[in-house]
Structure 1
Amino acid sequence: MAAHALARGMGTFFKDCEHPASRWSKCPHEYKIRYRSAAGNQTEESGFGTQDGAIERLMEIYKEKKATSRSQSKAERIQKYGTMRFEEYVEEWKGGQRHLATSSVRHLESFLEHHLYPAVRSIGSGHGIGERVGGIEGEGRGLDDGNAQGSAAARHAIALSMY
């Protein structure tokens, strides 16, 4: 499965079969597309009979994203994640991380359990998700220096996916 990328930010199209890309035009399998939604989540769609159909759909999505204002996207994220518990958000975020090795998953689980979740709980539940993570991101509360580099990277990745 070799994906063909279009211009930056537009997504990719591919076939999920054993045929090489050079034979896709004669292959009976359908095309799939992968792109980032306006909220920043990776999304896949399938069922495109031709390469042109897949590219046309990617162009349509790209134009929709460009036409949508950033404030509208932010409002949609606030509506979706505003009342969500931080732990629920992290579970959803982890589900979207496709290339984590087993040791990385163990490290992340340990970091979350022993450092990030207690720090979020110490701030309290009177704040929205973004405010809680933003406070941790900026101040480094409850995190020891021994794990600073790995924890900073995880905090940063989770916080960036929220905004």
Structure 2
Amino acid sequence: MSPGDVPFGDQTHPRDGQLFKSCDCTRQGRCSHPYAIRYRDATGRQREETGYATQQDALDRLTKVCRGKQDAPQQQALEKRELGKQRFGEYCSTWLPRQRHFAPGTVRTVTQLLDNHVLPSLESRRVNTFSPAVVDDFIQAMEERSTGLATQQNAFDTLKKVLLDAHRRGAITDDPFHGVVPPGYVGTPLTQPGPADRGRAARSRTPRPVHGKDERAPPSGQDAPLRHHL
């Protein structure tokens, strides 16, 4: 603390802040220079304000700032709870306008997927009740309705975008897609070839003779080539 600083409370503490006068007056408590305060905001950056006529004015302002920092986590927790209590349909109605990077065509496609395949079964569910089991049930319901695989994948991707946004904002505590297997193609199982298959494969690799010619006989009118022995 620099000379002339007046501590906030019992001492000047970087977490709480400090109030002081920046003048060089010997008796700062009686001089007419304004008081200033110094504190760290919610991001940890140091701030300084000046122009307070009395020590009590500066102290009141500093107290208000410090209490605001203490209340910030509580306010954030309250906002997360309120988001979690929203119905899924209500959350989607505010989520889509925030996707400013979506092209107009993407907005139309996402709206159709939400209206036709996602909201009919999930619209009334509260956001904070989504879990991997709920997402699995959603996929299974699409399969039971014989929904096309491409549509299943697009609807799943749309649901994932919305719910991960809610998870990022704190409305859903745990990842609702943890361990979920998305819709996808089922590969054809591999089989070991039997003896008949191996026989056909071997015959297909055997070269066939050219019809009408004996590859072992020399052309007509020519002698067989001589073999020179060294």
TM range (shorter): 0.3 to 0.5
Larger of the two Rg values belongs to structure: 2
Structure scoring higher RCO (CA < 8 A, sep ≥ 6) equals 1
Greater fraction of residues in strand:
1
Q: Give TM-score, length-normalised by structure 2.
A: 0.35
Q: Give TM-score, length-normalised by structure 1.
A: 0.47
